[in-house]
Amino acid sequence: MYIFRLFYMQVVDDSWSNRAHQISEKRREITPPRAVIFDRNKTKIVSNKTYFNLMVIEDKMGEDFDTIGFSKLIGWTTEEIHERFAQIVKGEGIYYNKHNNTRISNYQRIRPYPFLKELTKDEMAKIAPYLDTYPGFYEEETSMRYYPFPNAANILGYLSEVNAREVKADKFYKPSYNIGRAGIERYYEKELRGLKGVHYVVRSALNNDVKKYENGVFDTVALQAEPIQLGLDINLQAYGEKLMQNKKGCIVAIEPSSGEILSMISAPSFDPNLLVGRKNVSLNYPQLLKDEGKPLFPRPTQAEYPPGSIFKLVQGLIGLQEGVLTPNTGFACNKSLVGCHNHPSPNTMEKAVQFSCNPYFYYAVKKIIQQGKEDNIYKDSEKGLDLWYEYMQSFGFGKKLNSDLTGLRAGLIPNSAYYDRWYGKHRWAFSTIRSISIGQGEVKLTPLHMANLAAIMANRGWYYDPHFAKKIGNKPLSHFPKRKTMVESKHFESIISGMWRVVNDNAGTARRAEIEGIDVCGKTGTVQNPHGKDHSVFIAFAPMDNPKIAIAVIVENSGFGGTWAAPIASLMIEKYLLKECKSTAKESRILKAVLLEP
């Protein structure tokens, strides 16, 4: 009998559920402001500003509520007030009780709801003195994000109101609460939101708050979460966004020794304050979405480009590790095989990298994929390509990097199964897929992968997954494991020597990236674009010994990699290592350049 009665009270009889809600209304939850975010130099880059919500409890309004007077106070019409109440009710949704097959609104007259949101101090000051005249309404202090720098929007993300599904899934949230929607705000949502406090109040028979329950002995204080420190350098980020004005593309810079992302520019960009608060989101988000430059599209993590000639670095490394190439291997620059520019003979691996010789790497990759381990050329190519694929995976290519970023893309590295679907089993060989030798064809990398390649070169064969967070409170993050490629460190030296010559030798392809007093090692790429002018690509690290920065730059529709991407990368390196730009003529050229195609 007792069990039946308990079941009836909890499940069948809704009046007990309603009574429970009434009791719970004595318990008021206090939400803390979100955690503050700092850059690597302890500069505050995300903080909070105080705002107010005008809350309403309909049950307290009374039958003689002065709707006309209230409408004048807030500057609305009476129709708009009624419409707002309808919106609140509709927003709470419908609850279906499967036990008695009834549907009731989740809205409850005894619960507080935000009637006006995101009021400034000045706006609230005009209303607050008169609220005693309008029972049921009261002010509630809240906070919204503030970004002191108009930069890093694609990194930091933004907040917006929770939906009904999110409220149901997590008891922390209530209607009108905000939640991270993108970037750091989304990935570290639970670390940023803090711990709620609770205030208990005693009510009169008329349902009015009269005093603290037990003099507040059971109250708890809302605790703001500990600050998060990023590896981001906000000054470098701002400088990169300045360099990329009037251009499409991106820059990703990484500290090789830690994997911390120093800057990540997606151009065009926008001021993150444009998406602070419901009003701004509803006004600005549609405009940003319609912008032909796609400022909301995070190019560094989601755009997938053929890597072009920067891919030759990895091809050379695999050939050396497999023993099919040596540092002194030379091949003729046979332009009948694949087009190339005029340059001296690539009679060593170092010179092949320096001159970016296409035929050299055609021969090199053919030796990797067709090693003669099988008598049948098609079976041999299958085995060789799958081995090549394993190497590529060890560089993090063809898969999502394990990072604290949301929305990562994997890029594309083809294996034998991929080509079997296109051509059929054992119906293709190296000659069919030779475009992968020079980073074209089916191969795709994100700019984040490209920057990570630069970090791998700097580290001579290992990397940490690129990430932003450095510390939460005083606790350093250490959950990003050290990853090693399948290539031994000794094989990197001839390739890196070639990268140094790319920038610092007269016959190099990236002379515009040279910096006086700093040994920059780099590699250009010119990525074929079927939709217009080629993309300019450059990766680099510096200094050559004990590297502090690794970088990838892509400037869309701007041609040769050494013309635009390389000098932009060098300016970023100079800014980071020297804290100033001494190459003023180079900087002026980049800032004046307009490289936007219709």
Q: 475-476 and 469-472: which strand pairing?
A: antiparallel
The predicted model gives 181-200 an average pLDDT of 87
Q: What percent of the chain has pLDDT over 90?
A: 52
pLDDT of residue 20: 40
218 pLDDT band (50/70/90 cuts)? low
pLDDT of residue 93: 75
> How many CA atoms lie less than 13 Å away from 144 in the CB half-sphere?
23
The predicted model gives 476-480 an average pLDDT of 79
Q: What percent of the chain has pLDDT over 70?
A: 91
427 pLDDT band (50/70/90 cuts)? very high
pLDDT of residue 244: 96
Secondary structure (3-state) at 394:
helix
Checking if the pLDDT of 23 tops 50, the result is no
pLDDT of residue 543: 97
3-state helix, strand, coil in the chain (%, to 5): 40, 20, 40
pLDDT of residue 10: 46
Which of 272-281, 304-313, 444-453, 479-488 is predicted with the least confidence, judged by mean pLDDT? 272-281
How far is residue 579's CA from residue 571's CA, in Å, rounded to a whole number?
A: 11
pLDDT of residue 19: 41
Which of 194-203, 332-341, 566-575 is predicted with the least confidence, judged by mean pLDDT? 194-203
Which residues are 553's β-sheet partners?
251, 538
16 pLDDT band (50/70/90 cuts)? very low
How far is residue 511's CA from residue 503's CA, in Å, rounded to a whole number?
A: 5
Note if the bond before 256 is cis, omega within 30 degrees: no
> pLDDT tens-digit profile of 380-421?
999 999 999 999 999 999 999 998 888 899 999 999 999 999
**Cα end-to-end span (Å), the chain:** 78
How far lies 49's CA from each of 33, 120, 141, 296, 346, in Å?
9, 9, 11, 24, 61
Checking if the pLDDT of 6 tops 70, the result is no
Spatial neighbors of 469 by CB under 8 A, at least 6 apart, are 184, 188, 228, 229, 230, 231, 404, 477
Using alpha carbons only, give the angle 520, 524, 530 rounded to the nearest 5 degrees: 155
Checking if the pLDDT of 254 tops 60, the result is yes
pLDDT of residue 11: 46
pLDDT of residue 202: 58
For 591, phi and psi rounded to 5 degrees? -65, -30
Q: Which residue has the higher pLDDT, 174 or 205?
A: 174
pLDDT of residue 215: 52
Q: Domain coordinates of the chain in residue numbers?
A: 52-141, 234-273+299-592
pLDDT of residue 423: 93
Contact assessment for residue 314 and residue 307, using Cβ atoms and an 8 Å cutoff:
no
The tokens 């796609």 sit on which residue?
Answer: 294
Average pLDDT, the chain: 87
Which of 202-206, 358-362, 457-461 is predicted with the least confidence, judged by mean pLDDT? 202-206
Measure the CA dihedral 118/123/128/133, to 10°.
Answer: -100
Checking if the pLDDT of 217 tops 70, the result is no
Check if CATH label 3.40.980.10 holds for domain 234-273+299-592.
no
The predicted model gives 322-345 an average pLDDT of 86
Tell me the three-class secondary structure of 512-531, residue by residue.
Answer: HHCECCECCEEEEEEECCCC
pLDDT of residue 506: 85
Q: What is the CA radius of gyration of the chain?
A: 30
Checking if the pLDDT of 24 tops 80, the result is no
The predicted model gives 21-31 an average pLDDT of 57
